[in-house]
Amino acid sequence: MQSRFALRMGPALAALVALLGSCSTGPNSGPAQPISLFNGRDLQGWTAVTGDPAVRGDAVWTLRDGILVCRGEPIGYLQTDRNFTNFRMEAEYRWAPGTPPGNSGLFSRLDGDPRPLPRCVEVQLMHGNAGDVLGLQGRRIAPDQPRHFHVAAHPLAGDIDGVRKTTDAEAPPGSWNRVEILAEGPNYTVWINGVEVNRVTGVEVLSGPVALQSEGGEIHFRHLHITPLP
């Protein structure tokens, strides 16, 4: 049944109202949708940086049964070709089954010249420290907060400001872990396997790629998604 309201407006005005209503539910008005960063077939959308110019990126980062495998040597990273400022990122990772767990991390807001450890914000994946948040190469993280620490003139990472995790939520080595990162302006929140393990404020805000780190241990990644936020 046609409403009396539509009848009083007349056909033309009623059509305009209907059109405006449909526009309000268009794709630009709803919540942002996750973007898959890894298609499981190739490294389209990614660029590798290695600490040894004689080693190609495809010798470090390979695909195995739909899983992204990083051999961990040499030190370097695999970064997205797209930049992000505010985002929610989700990834699953595990240390190679049957091998000692090593070191890795999820980088974001990269800038500056490429180097083995770039200027960025790192969410640590190193076994035993997963969930620590670090500012590498002088990337600012405000010191006036709990669990803050500072390392001066690290030989590879330069000046580091960091905030240690609150709890350990890692799965046993060789098992899959799920990490989620919410970056909103100067605030970072980190979850490991659904447990909030860190909440950090005073992080320097800028746009840059996100990246996966290669550092000393074979690590596997899958289900990489990012949702850009305003």
The reported pLDDT for the residue numbered 216 is 86
Q: Taken in order 159, 129, 92, 203, is the CA torsion positive or negative? A: negative
Note the pLDDT of residue 32. 86
From first to last of its 230 residues, the chain has per-residue pLDDT tens of 433 333 333 444 344 334 434 343 444 556 789 999 999 999 999 999 999 999 999 999 999 999 999 999 999 999 999 999 999 999 999 999 999 999 999 999 999 988 999 999 999 999 999 999 999 999 999 999 999 999 999 999 999 999 999 999 999 999 999 999 999 999 999 999 999 999 999 999 999 999 999 998 999 999 999 999 99
For residues 61-83, one letter each, b for 16 or more C-beta atoms within 10 angstroms of the residue's C-beta and e for the rest, the string is beeeeebbbbebbbbbbbbbeeb
Q: What is the pLDDT of residue 13?
A: 38
**Residues 141 and 202 sit within 8 Å (Cβ to Cβ):** yes
Domain ranges in the chain are 1-30, 33-229
Measured CA to CA, the distance from residue 108 to residue 122 in angstroms comes to 6
pLDDT of 206 reads 98
Q: What is the CA radius of gyration of the chain?
A: 22
Look at the alpha carbons of 47, 34, 164, 195 in this order and tell me if their dihedral is positive or negative: negative
Q: What is the pLDDT of residue 101?
A: 94
Report d(CA 199, CA 143) in Å as an integer.
13
CATH architecture of 33-229: Sandwich (2.60)
pLDDT for 28 equals 54
Residue pair 123/133 in contact (Cβ under 8 Å)? The answer is: yes
123 contacts 106 by C-beta, under 8 angstroms: yes
Give the global pTM: 0.87
SS (H, E, C) 149-178: EEEEEECCCEEEEEECCCCCCCCCCCCCEE
pLDDT of res. 29: 53
Residues 74-115 have pLDDT tens digits of 999 999 999 999 999 999 999 999 999 999 999 999 999 889
